[in-house]
Structure 1
Amino acid sequence: MDRVPMTVAGHAALVEELRRRTAEERPAIIEAIAEARAHGDLSENAEYHAAKEQQSHNEGRVMEIESMLAKAEIIDVSKLSGNTVKFGATVTLIDEDTEEEKTYQIVGDAEADARAGRISISSPIARAMIGKEVGDSIEVTAPGGARGYEITKIAFV
């Protein structure tokens, strides 16, 4: 079984989503299906079909979360240290073209959110950073072309 790396916070977020989906959303969907069934003919009942579709989506996500949690390898980032970029590192980069500074934390696929500054360990930019040190330059091939970055800071928080 392949292990899925995730931070303590990412694991807690998945556990909470699983709790919400099973304890709150599942009963609400079941109630909506029962109410729609009471309206009669199911073949032309849009509310019934929408509720069944919502149930299918919810149960699929529940199975996906349970699978991720079963394979989870929880890594406490606060206990990590070092001079090289690895899972859990918060890395500050300078775009070599625009001089724009960006900060990203390298996290597991399930908790990645680029807008919040968390990028997946399997993303091209994270893969380019792994093993590098402060002062190293990396090149990332993006849809708009290759981009160059310099690593200016590595922290584990």
Structure 2
Amino acid sequence: MDSRLFAKFKSCLDAWAKENEKGEHCLSRQILGKPSSDLQDILDKLKQLLDTMVEEYTTIVNQLGLVENLRNDESKADTPKEVILLKSCVDMYDQEYMIKECIQNIVSGDGFATQQHLANSAALWKSESYLDEQIQQEIKKL
């Protein structure tokens, strides 16, 4: 498959990593119980990146004429490995975004009580536990 098909999708992975670092830095400066417009801005950018990944995935699926294959699980054998990788990637980034959204809501809320909670939230943000490094590396090679 032509690597140009995946260029925008791959750029989203790099941009996500940069925004994630900004989020880590923002959480390290977070004041308990005070909403952070910086963290909200980062979360908004992450959502835009996720939306772009979904759009790129959908465009690729449509260009390759695979819509019917993906609707029917029996046809997965006919689906190119690259498309399956992109779908897995979109799914894992969607899960990661939801976690980051929860973190932002927790650390900005009035009920957020201790510095330990903040430290744990920052560690969870940084760990990106839903992201599979191997899948990301395979996509970057496309």
TM-score normalised by the chain length of structure 1? 0.36
Choose between structure 1 and 2: higher helix proportion. Answer: 2
Larger Rg: 1
TM-score normalised by the chain length of structure 2? 0.39
Choose between structure 1 and 2: higher strand proportion. Answer: 1
Of structures 1 and 2, the one scoring higher in RCO (CA 8 A, sep 6+) is: 2
